[in-house]
Amino acid sequence: MMLDIAMHILELLMNSIQAMAKVITVRITESEKDDLITIEESDDGKGMSKELLERVTDPFTTTRTTRKVGLGVAFMKGMTEQCGGIFDIRSTEGVGTWIKATAQRSNIDTPDMGDLGEMMMAAIQANENIDYIFEYITDTNSFVFKSSEIREQLAGVSLLEPEVLIWIKEYINQGIKQAKEDLK
């Protein structure tokens, strides 16, 4: 199964949501200069015990009870290592979790970026009360989206309104497109 990068990150977002995070940050750096894609995803959720953290990159590690395999973290680790990158995960119980994954941008095995606007829309749909911070950074530009700012501007209108969700998706994809203009 080949997932694009946005789908891999969505798995991480879903884990953070399940961990009862209040703030989730996604930072994607796409550097032409360093030929590198860097993904950082962090949350202030319940975190993992040392013992769980050591096992989390094993495909058979899951604390879910409905299914015996948890693939999110192990899959992403496998993907990045196949693409000349590294995978690093840190977590503290009661504090939160931080994941950093890199991939060589020119590597033919590096998946497409996928639809990052759609990814954020799916996360908001899964839990609209979380404060999502999304950052997209290139060698020369950056774009930042904060769901809390949108929520304030909406003054009581739900982020789950279909028009709002579609606006968010397009706003993010447009912001990325602009930030990417200098990339080859």
Ligand X SMILES: Nc1ncnc2c1ncn2[C@@H]1O[C@H](COP(=O)(O)OP(=O)(O)OP(=O)(O)O)[C@@H](O)[C@H]1O
Instruction: Name the residue nearer to ligand X (CB basis): 39 or 56.
Output: 56
Instruction: Name the residue nearer to ligand X (CB basis): 62 or 80.
Output: 62
Q: Provide the minimum distance between the beta carbon of 122 and ligand X in the complex, in angstroms, as a whole number.
A: 14
| Cβ–Cβ under 8 Å, residues 21 and 14 | no
148 binds, among Mg ion, ligand X, none (CB under 5 to 8 A by kind): none
- Residues lying near Mg ion in the complex (CB under 5 A) are found at 15, 72
Measuring CA to CA, how many Å separate 108 from each of 21, 79, 111, 177, 184? 34, 12, 8, 22, 16
Instruction: Name the residue nearer to ligand X (CB basis): 56 or 79.
Output: 56
Q: Provide the minimum distance between the beta carbon of 121 and ligand X in the complex, in angstroms, as a whole number.
A: 19
- Residues lying near ligand X in the complex (CB under 6 A) are found at 11, 15-16, 19, 43, 45-48, 56, 61-64, 70-74, 97
25 binds, among Mg ion, ligand X, none (CB under 5 to 8 A by kind): none
Please compute, for residue 7, the number of CA atoms within 13 A of its CA located in the half-sphere on the CB side: 10
61 binds, among ligand X, Mg ion, none (CB under 5 to 8 A by kind): ligand X
Any idea what the Cα angle at residue 63 is, between residues 58 and 66, rounded to 5°?
Answer: 110
Instruction: Name the residue nearer to Mg ion (CB basis): 62 or 138.
Output: 62
The Cα 49–Cα 47 span in angstroms is: 7
Q: Provide the minimum distance between the beta carbon of 145 and Mg ion in the complex, in angstroms, as a whole number.
A: 23
179 binds, among Mg ion, ligand X, none (CB under 5 to 8 A by kind): none
Beta strands across the sheet bearing 142-146: 87-92, 96-104, 36-43, 23-31, 131-138, 142-146
Instruction: Name the residue nearer to ligand X (CB basis): 62 or 110.
Output: 62
62 binds, among Mg ion, ligand X, none (CB under 5 to 8 A by kind): ligand X
| Cβ–Cβ under 8 Å, residues 102 and 36 | yes
| Cβ–Cβ under 8 Å, residues 77 and 87 | yes
Which tokens belong to 64? 């879910």
